[in-house]
Structure 1
Amino acid sequence: MIYMPNLDLQHIPKSPGIYKYFNKEGTIIYIGKSVNLFSRVNSYFNGKSKLNFAKKKMVEQIVRIETIITTNETESLILETTLIKQHKPKYNILMKDDKNHLYIKITDTTFPKILKTRIKTKSGVYFGPYISTFHVNNILKIIKKHFGYGCHDIHFFKEGGGYNLDKYLFKNNGIISRPHTSSTPFNNDGGEKIEDTVINEYNQQIKNIKKFLKGNFQDVISSIEEKMKSHAKELNFEEAQKAKEQIESIKSLEINQNVRDAVQGDYNVIHYLEKFDSFYIGLIEIRDSKITGFNNFEISAKLGETKEELLKIFIENRYISDREEKIKCSYILPIKLDDILEDIKIELPKKGAKLELLQLTYKNIYEYAYKKYLNSLSTKGFTKATMKNLLKTLGYNQINKSLIFECNDISHLAGSHTVASRSIIENGKSNTSKYKKFKIKTLESGKIDDFGSMKEIMERRLKEIEKSGIIPDLIIIDGGKGQLNSVIKIIHRFKSEHSNKETLELINNLQVVSIAKREEELFLPGESEPILLDKESLELRLIQKIRDEAHRFAITFNRDKRIKAMKTNLLESLPGFGPITRKKILKTYGSVNKLSGIKKQELEKILNKNQIQTLEDHGII
């Protein structure tokens, strides 16, 4: 080790090794490595190298330099990595990763559970890892639906050589379900013994699920495709979209199988993304021809490093990490890197499975980065300036001192329980206290008519404006040019039916825009061509935010109405609950929904024990 109190640069050895820069407080601010310490360290001080602003600021703080000589570059890299982890210098890059190892686990208990997990242990069978939590959740829903298995914790206890049910196996939206078998081995209280034949049937289903997760899923895809076509034929597009997403989730399972067939050996597949004011690196680990991990890293350039320098730092760190675990693998990269350690084997594929893996890595990073970007926006919130910029882009003016944007949305399930919602953004923030929900009154039950529903909502909104004398700065319509034209016709008709000057002036000042979902195109009244905002702009995110809020609010209201209707219908179908009893319940408690919070002693005042037991058996209380 060489101690240099006066930065005597001439005594630095011309050998491989690492160097440490200290500030006046004695803190290490940077650790680097080189095959020639003399050349590298002097390059910071001799004026021949053009240092960027960040490096100049660092050099100004250096008061002491220490070096450690090593026998070769690999040893330098190992020592550098170790010391950076130990000291965490201000100007060194520290890798912060998103360990996205998500697995489906089937336990090896008598009645196996199917679980979602990020931790692998020695017990059980694991499938994955999977890229997306969304896909895994979809896959678990598919398993439950097609194999009759509740993907949740299952609790059994051993008793006298047999197994008894300890708890309800699966609870979802108040509905209890159990593994589908040809026998019914237990009653509701779990007191009946489960026979060996049932255990065998149950485990056969588990074997089928394992086959499915290993890649035998064509039968399931065909079944879902049939349902998707059926939903589309009935114009039930929400359910058709869910079916399509299920198929996409199943196809995501094919990734590992394709890799196993096409790529032999151990690889680290690495891609990068410069986006959203940050730099990201994505990594797919392949071990023994199987994908064993997905990781994403967000990296901050401390000294203005180029993308090539950041990739090189990352790869060398990864090389040391793998070396410590005695893993020797090649690296699949999208670009060539100069001056990288000779021991690191690089491949630059132009076609085939390895190129597809690179593309998959890039897609994975982009999704990760975009989600982080959206989360940062939701945390920060939008500003009044964003709203003003959007109005300016659309050619509109600010109307109110307190800027108000609103959006309406329609929701139904195959035409039943059609409802609408209105979301509000005021001065950049969601104003949930002003959100509204509406029952659509003019449509026949079961009829699907989004235009008719929007007509009713807009007519009601225009009457509100007439009464209050207040209009929003912008009304956002969820839909394309057709929906916009429909709304404009409603506005014109309203104007033709009113003669009050103040009302007409208000309506004339209405500012409307529609957003089409597929390409996120914006349409203005009287304009044939759409406006396309930058996909990453705050203005587009603002419109998407208010639209998504209206959609979420409408769907929630629709679901609540359906659940309420289901419970009401259920009460009518229960034995022992005639019109008089039902009327008594509604008069006492207001609705069936409120029964779940009532104690038995209270219910006994108006119901007998058999009726209370019936309510318990059907999950109402």
Structure 2
Amino acid sequence: MAANAHLQEQIRHLPHRPGIYKYFDDEGIIYVGKAVDIRKRVSSYFTKQDHNKKTQQLVKNIKRIEFTIVDNESEAFLLENNLIKQHQPKYNILLKDGKTYPYLLLTNERFPRLIPTRNKKPGDGRYYGPYANLTAMNVVLELIRALYPLRTCTYNLSPQNIEAGKFKVCLEYHLGNCKGPCEGLQDEETYNQYIAQIRNILSGNLTVARAYFREKMTAAAQEQQYELAHQFKQKLDKLEEFQAKSTVVNASLSNIDVFSIASNEKSAFINYLKVMNGSIILTQSLEVVKKLDESDADILAPLVMQMREEFESQSKEILTNVPLPDLPLPGVSVAQPQIGDKRKLLELSIKNVLYLRKEKESMNDRSKDLNEVRIMETIKKDLRLTELPKHIECFDNSNFQGDNPVAAMVCFRNAKPSKKDYRHYHIKTVVGPNDFDSMYEVVTRRYRRLVDEGASLPQLVIVDGGKGQLSMAVKALKDLNLWGQMAVIGIAKRLEEIYVPNDPLPLYIDKKSESLRLFQRMRDEVHRFGITFHRSRRDAATLKTELTDVKGLGPITADKLLSKFKSVKKIKELTENELIAEVGKAKTKVLLTYFAAQESATSE
């Protein structure tokens, strides 16, 4: 797609340097991109011929180009990412804001509390997460509350306040969920031991907590405090149950991010697994709608940066199923493992992303099916049909001043075109431009054949035309003894009136009705299909007449040449040897003599 003179001048002055480029329309930025060579990359938008429709539309809207030079591609990547977040251009994949992900906050006050929150405030304490969803966070929170008696009150438990007896224990104390630090009933040292273990659990390390409860259980049993030992065993069992529900991959794999991507024409699907201490502690899958014809690597690279930022990952190793060589992450390795435990981990992520893609595509298919059923139900209601019109056929005639009369039929099944069932018809029994008799002929031929073949009949027949064409279609069905076995309507072009048999007044369906939209779509489709066939017949007839006028050249040879070369003009351009290879020396001589005579007559 060629650029206008103004843009061509801008492109000529772009540098052969790494950086970012910005496309503007009349209202602002519509696209931000990065490049190793800005001029080459921008030029490709206007010189390549194989862009998809979205990219072609982008190029049409470009009114102005700006650029920024940077030192290397990594800097270009970061700048592009920031500008996309800032301006959210129409043609870029927009990265969602992760500010609403939930966290667990371990407060920095005396006798710390563990509370869920979505807002991070510096100085309040240590935040753990973010968690991909509330369910994942609540599972961890419930585990910790079941293991440790933490306070939930917001009192200022300073030594002075406790000594002064300012507070009284609440219901949580009586339920056994809190040991009453507000009244000095729990010492701070023991409480802080709990907090240390909680920190390990929140970091994905259950070893310290397991060792603590096992040691307490054993000591209580040795002292014959069996009820207490049983309580510690229950807590240990909860830890083991939590561990069992976690996906354990390999204890030697720690602090790894795994990303995989799978896409189709419209969307890309991404899965993220975060591995800590041999277990998957976080999984997130998402779908992004493609804005242009982006590659999987182009889509995944910025999302890796975004998701690591949102989930506050400090992993020094990233596994992916597509190469990402230019991520601006110093000290972080990016690999596509082919064997071993890391490959198994990557395959798990790929399995998740393929499942997501299949599920979304299946949902779209189900949505389409429901949409089609709704349309058929609407048609049934609007036309007062006795059954759902799963099979509809629409007829149209086509002729040009009475020449080459043809007809066409298109078939829709479940409100969708069934192109294998489309049919063309040469009008055989009608002379001249008579649409009524032509409609009678094609309807008769169509349904006599279906009956002879034992094929199923449509629930609804549409004829393109008013009362005249409709009456002939009805007559054809009556003559075939099929009247009453299918509904028939006519649709007039001018005011979109719907005519039904035995009713002199047309039916006016709401212009916004899905019924009328489908009828119009079928009418347009049969018109297109018939016109295309009519033109091909008319053109073929014109060409054949010209060649069959050549004495010594029969219709079989004329058909052979026209079917291969499509026009007399192209046949005239063939060399003598090329013609001999097609039709032999004798007929080549006849053709060359004829063409020479034509040129001589034209020049005179």
TM interval, short-chain normalised: 0.3 to 0.5
Structure with more contact order per residue of length (Cα contacts < 8 Å, sep ≥ 6): 1
